[in-house]
A and B are shown apart, each in its own frame.
Chain A
Amino acid sequence: MAVYKKTYRPYQGGLTAAWKRFLVIPRYAFEDLRRSRFLTIFYIASFAYPLIAAITIYLDHNVDAIRLLNLSNLISIDAFYFMSFLGWQSMLAFFLAAFIGPGQVSPDLANGALSLYLARPFSRAEYVLGKMSVLLILMSLMTWIPGLLLFVLEGYLEPAGWMSGHARIAAGLFFGAWVWILLASLLALALSAWVKWRPAAGALMFGVFWVAGGFGQAINNVQGTKWGLLLSMPNLIGTVWVRLFEGENPVSNGGVFFRLDQSGIIPVWACWASLLGWSLICLYMLNRKIRGAEVVR
């Protein structure tokens, strides 16, 4: 029927599968993000490091280049190398999350559109998953996916058996990145659900990342303890990464931006528990705000 024929007609066509309707949200979100020139440039620029790293790995295995540039004394492709790569990329991913994360939920809450999402055969969990998948996909493309490609490149250039001998690095890249991606995504969505003004929500993310660590340090100084470090995200992530990349006997103190604090080492289990605690707080915040109708008690 031509659209200008102003009559209503019932819909009698087929419906899409219920399980994949949450994918509608990232599809629309990516269309919006693509329109931002700044974001596009930033995202493309974020692949500079993986490109440089790939070139470095190649040069490291090129005899002529090694001889010419004396690279063997400068570069060591090991767990620390990949951890530093992940640290740098994860920080860029955090900037990305702080930039686009608040724009995912807050526009829906600002003008009450959330009730329309949830008035459809669409659950709150699917809504959060749909919104989160935007961040998960973009941050994955920046962190563990190029990380694993570099790992495969290194394995390809090294003698046979290198990959199986260094499988812990691959696992560290994958799981270490996911720990950070999940936490940063949850934090971005939770803060944007509570702070409807996008710039404030983005700023608050940086506040949680750095100021909470400073607050923990203050607790340590006043109380003479080390447990305040449980509030420091760089320390928590660094501790978990070192364990994932280097096992029981670490030789480094983490990657760029995500280092163990030298003022006191806290057990790995406590770091995991703290990260779980942060995640649960974020989920609680989302659970309170992502509702079809606000209840006035």
Chain B
Amino acid sequence: MMDNPVIELDGLEIRFGGRPVLKKLKASLTGRSIGLLGPNGAGKSTLLNTLLGFHKPSAGTARVLGLDIRTHARQVRGLIGYMPENDAFIASMSGVRFVRMMAELAGLPPAQALERAHEAFFYVGLGEVRYRALGTYSLGMKQSAKLAQAIAHGPKLLFLDEPTNGLDPPARARMIQLIQEIRDLGDIHLILSSHLLRDVEECCDQVLILKEGNIAAYCNLEEERRANLRFLELETRGSSNGCFLEALEKLGCQTAQGAQGRIKLVLPEGLEVKQLYAVAADQEVQIRRLNHKRDSLEDIFLKAMESTDGRL
């Protein structure tokens, strides 16, 4: 059964001063956690800001959890928790008071907002500093505070714009862990915008790659990972590789021969790797190296970037 789309882009176009920034985007994003990838200036933040209603589409529209952003902007924002890329805090306010106010603005009654602000601060690991003014927080603490305000009101959809920006490795690992925990709870859909492939790879099951305002690629990382498990690279030594290739093809493998005994092959369903060794032994071929060729997110990203205007 097809999942209900989280976000549908229906010819969405955004222009700033006549210059197209998002160019008639069309896509239906259905994943639990979706990565928005692209180089700087590709339109990732603009897309998030448009879905939040900060920019008015010059053409087309988009739907968030089935609600049109043109006609239901307020309801859409009621479903979203937003962690912006840049600094977003009131320096003189204590962390917990700030998050409480934001939760109240999202519609929570004062008592519940206070309770959830405390919970959110403990959850992101800032429980001990929640009464300190936000202006005194370190960069990593400010990022965590931004996450706290984004989840305090219990959104259905979380927009995380470059959540690991400026974080040192331990803080980054903690942030990624939090995002993974939120994802795995299954109550919230995630949209993670980043130019860091690793962040997206670790947190997302689908990825939308933008380039110069166009959709350069949209793929399901889980499926890609599963498909990659059947794709092998061999390095062989020994007698005629031609016979070895024929024997592999008889087993149902798709093969391609490279230089110096290198062979690329796709295993058919049901064929185990140990059967390759058996065939190699019969043909007196040594398998010196066997790699599962991993078509990583980096490969997907680089392929998408190779297209001239970003269109697939």
Contact = CB atoms under 8 A, between A and B. Distances in A.
Contacts of B92: 32, 107
Interface in B69-108: 74-75, 77-78, 80, 82, 84, 86-92, 97-98, 101-102, 104-108
A116 interface: yes
Contacts of A111: 87-91, 135
Contacts of A11: 108, 112, 116, 153-154
Nearest to B161: A115
Contacts of A297: 16-17, 19
A264 B266 CA distance: 93
B88 A120 contact: no
B153 A118 contact: no
B151 interface: yes
Contacts of A116: 82, 84, 88, 102, 149
A217 B142 CA distance: 50
B138 to A, nearest CB: 15
A16 B109 contact: yes
B109 A21 contact: no
Contacts, number: 129
A123 interface: yes
B55 interface: yes
Interface string A1-40: 1011111111111111010010011001000100000000
A291 B84 CA distance: 14
A15 B52 contact: no
A112 B88 contact: yes
Interface in A278-297: 291-293, 295-297
B123 A121 contact: no
A12 B107 CA distance: 12
A8 B19 contact: no
A2 B188 CA distance: 22
B283 interface: no
A14 B106 CA distance: 11
A108 interface: yes
Most B Cβ at <10 Å: residue of A1, A4, A16, A297: A16
Nearest to A22: B105
Interface in B216-248: none
A126 to B, nearest CB: 9
Interface string A125-139: 000000000000000
B51 to A, nearest CB: 10
Contact of A113 (B89, B104, B125, B182): B89
Nearest to A103: B92
B181 interface: yes
B68 interface: no
A115 B107 contact: no
Nearest to B45: A293
A3 B127 contact: yes
B277 interface: no
B111 to A, nearest CB: 10
Contacts of B108: 11, 13, 15-16
Contact of B91 (A7, A14, A107, A119): A107
Given A16-B107, A16-B108, A115 B91 contact: no
Nearest to A295: B16
Contact of B123 (A7, A16, A122): A7
Interface of A: 1, 3-16, 18, 21, 24-25, 28, 32, 107-108, 110-113, 115-123, 291-293, 295-297
Kindly list the 9 A-B residue pairs having the minimum CB-CB distance in the complex, ordered from nearest.
A11-B154, A292-B54, A15-B107, A297-B17, A119-B82, A121-B78, A293-B54, A3-B118, A293-B49
Given A3-B119, A11-B153, A119-B82, 4 more contacts: A13-B108, A15-B109, A21-B107, A115-B54
18 contacts: A1-B119, A3-B122, A6-B122, A9-B154, A13-B109, A13-B112, A21-B105, A24-B105, A111-B88, A112-B88, A113-B90, A116-B84, A116-B102, A117-B102, A118-B52, A120-B102, A120-B107, A293-B54
